[in-house]
Amino acid sequence: MTDRPVPIVDADSREYWEAAGHHKLRLPHCTQCDSPFFYPRVLCPRCHSDEIEWRQMSGRGVIYSYTISRRPAGPAFKEMAPYIVALVDLEEGPRLLTNIVTDDVSAIQIGQAVIVTFEDLEGGIALPLFQPKEASAS
């Protein structure tokens, strides 16, 4: 458990956060154009269909871009600095804004393989984060 702020769960994101609380990465998937997407919303960002279902993602991806935050974004992040804020391209296609969990921020590279891990917060909420694939237990 950390002091990170707890995300606000709304009707559009409830299924995402409930799955994350069980350490599963599930995203909305448009059945009209066969596309998973992120962030959760009621209409597909590609074809604007409302025919959406939720699907389990593999949790595997690659780092598209990142920055090392050496100054915390607020008091709740002070103990974490330096930390990595990254865009991760999932194997299934969607791109997520997330943190990379690592002990060596200088070892992170664009194109590096990563895998999802979860950080438990209060109230059954867990944050999907990513770590270098070679550092994972799986």
pLDDT, tens digit only, all 138 positions of the chain? 467 888 999 999 999 999 999 999 999 999 999 999 999 999 999 999 999 999 999 999 999 999 999 998 888 888 889 999 999 999 999 999 999 999 999 999 999 999 999 999 988 899 999 999 975 544
**Residue 4 lies inside a defined structural domain of this protein:** no
The confidence score (pLDDT) of residue 73 equals 87
The confidence score (pLDDT) of residue 28 equals 97
- Peptide bond preceding 128 in cis form (omega within 30 of 0): no
**Residue 5 lies inside a defined structural domain of this protein:** no
**Residue 2 lies inside a defined structural domain of this protein:** no
**Residue 113 lies inside a defined structural domain of this protein:** yes
**Residue 120 lies inside a defined structural domain of this protein:** yes
How far, in Å, CA of 109 to CA of 65, rounded?
8
Expressed as residue numbers, the domain containing 35 is 14-133
pTM for this model (two decimals): 0.90
- Domain count for the chain: 1
SS3 75: helix
How far, in Å, CA of 97 to CA of 75, rounded?
21
Tokens 């993602």 — which residue? Answer: 57
CA triplet 135, 88, 23: central angle to 5 degrees? 60
